[in-house]
Structure 1
Amino acid sequence: MSSISIIGLGGMGRAIGARAVEGGHAVEVIGRDPAKAGELVAALGGGATAGKFGTAPAGDVVILAVPYAGAVPVVAQYGDALAGKVIVDITNPMKADASGLATPEDTSAAQEIAKAAPASVHVVKAFNTVFGHILARGGALDVLLAGDDARAKASVSGFISSLGLRPLDAGGPEMAHWLEGTGPLMVSLARHGVGDFNFSLGVSSFS
């Protein structure tokens, strides 16, 4: 069991929080609207608590479950309150029409967040390759992740495994750009080859 803080009250935050509670973790949810945070706490149950936005999160692992446009501003606002934490960036920085990424080719949302965070923070990209409503359904899914610190990735991998999911390490922080590229890809697949959003990406191994 570990302590997890989730900044963001949307569908992904709710889905991760629900699975974290089921996995026996202490879950803190944080949002700008205390009433909505309280509603989510009540829905999650399992001893989940509501934190105060802008103050130091209780969890050693902080899930940044906010839209891409708000991610860097939120991290900058928190500042040193995030010192020593592992931040899990779940954002998909897509253009409004989902035709491509909103970030330049030589960076990623995860790398932008890392630059805005205190030096003692390690950012791990994860969960962005899974739709929130699919995550909420339960079941075993693959979760791809990337980051620059082995301990931080091990911590996040352990958390992912505790949710009944399979963590797959895609490599260093430069790989976050390519993981984020699955966002437009998944939307395009949903619109064309698959025909709906009821799918997930996974990896099959053959011996």
Structure 2
Amino acid sequence: MLRTRVRTAAVMGRDQAKAAALANALGGSVTTGAWGAVPAGDIVIVAVLYDSVVPIVAEYGDALSGKTIIDISNPFNSGGDGLAIGESTSIAQEAAKAAPADAHVFKAFNTVFRHVLEKGRPLDVFVAGDNARAKAGVEAFIESLGLRPLDVGGLETAHWLEAASLVEMGLARHGVGHWDLALGVTEFHG
């Protein structure tokens, strides 16, 4: 597998405190980008509610040229029991349409609750995206955080990652009964 060294990653958010908390939780070379400034990192994590992702990617426009963009959002409906978008797309796919042609958009981290990520346990992070070289960089970044990246396929799979977050919400509300959980994969051999 092709591996790419990740130099820096930046978390952008309208709420600087939330962006800083996420950057701190991610650790490593992750910084917090000032709202409105050109993102400094090779990887830009868009940490906003789903309905702001596409407008922000469009607003930043050419400032995202050549960058790897990670969408962590989940497009929940107002009841939090369904998706607010159709089955033929995802927020990440819509962001890719708004991004510069040489940017690479991924869906990742959306099935890991922030407070669980902050606990620092080994976690699985599902990754959906199309560009193999950029995906290797995303995977290297995730590994640098002590997490296990799991490639779930191309960007068209992002819709199903968003739906998987609904399963996680259901488990938290009903099956497990608390929010201290994460989706993951257990491998069986032999």
TM-score, shorter chain, exceeding 0.5? yes
- Tell whether 2:137 aligns with 1:155: yes
The residue number in structure 1 matching 2:12 is 7
The residue number in structure 2 matching 1:44 is none
Supply the AA of the counterpart residue of 1:2.
R
The residue number in structure 1 matching 2:24 is 18
Q: 1:14-51 CA distances to partner (integer Å, 9 max, x unpaired)? A: 45412443x3x1x3313xxxxxxxxxxxxxxxxxxxx3
Query: Which one of the candidate residues 82, 88, 94 is aligned to 1:106?
Result: 88
Which SS does the other structure have where 2:175 is aligned?
A: coil
By how many angstroms is 1:157 displaced? 0.4
- Tell whether 2:161 aligns with 1:179: yes
The CA RMSD over aligned residues, in Å, is: 1.6
With normalisation by structure 1, the TM-score equals: 0.83
Q: Which has the higher relative contact order, 1 or 2, with Cα contacts under 8 A spaced 6 or more apart?
A: 2
Aligned partners of 2:26 and 2:118 also within 8 Å: no
Aligned partners of 1:54 and 1:77 also within 8 Å: no
Aligned partners of 1:15 and 1:133 also within 8 Å: no
Unaligned runs of 5+ in 2: 1-5
The residue number in structure 1 matching 2:98 is 116
Which SS does the other structure have where 2:106 is aligned?
A: strand
Query: Which one of the candidate residues 118, 128, 132 is aligned to 1:146?
Result: 128
By how many angstroms is 1:100 displaced? 1.0
Aligned partners of 2:108 and 2:125 also within 8 Å: yes
- Tell whether 2:171 aligns with 1:189: yes
After the TM superposition, which parts of structure 1 deviate over 3 Å for at least 4 consecutive aligned residues? 9-16
By how many angstroms is 1:91 displaced? 0.5
Q: 1:41-76 CA distances to partner (integer Å, 9 max, x unpaired)? A: xxxxxxxxxx3x223211011001111011111111
Taking a change above 3 Å as real, the CA distance of residues 134 and 65 of structure 1, as seen in their structure-2 partners, is: same
Query: Which one of the candidate residues 70, 86, 91 is aligned to 1:88?
Result: 70
> How high is the sequence identity, in percent, across the aligned residues?
54
- Tell whether 2:26 aligns with 1:61: no
With normalisation by structure 2, the TM-score equals: 0.91
Which SS does the other structure have where 2:125 is aligned?
A: strand
Supply the AA of the counterpart residue of 1:6.
V
Unaligned runs of 5+ in 1: 31-50
Give me the whole-angstrom Cα distance separating, in 2, the residues matched to 1:151 and 1:70.
27
By how many angstroms is 1:10 displaced? 6.9
Which SS does the other structure have where 1:144 is aligned?
A: strand
Query: Which one of the candidate residues 160, 164, 178 is aligned to 2:146?
Result: 164
The residue number in structure 2 matching 1:28 is 31
Query: Which one of the candidate residues 136, 139, 147 is aligned to 2:118?
Result: 136
Which SS does the other structure have where 2:94 is aligned?
A: helix
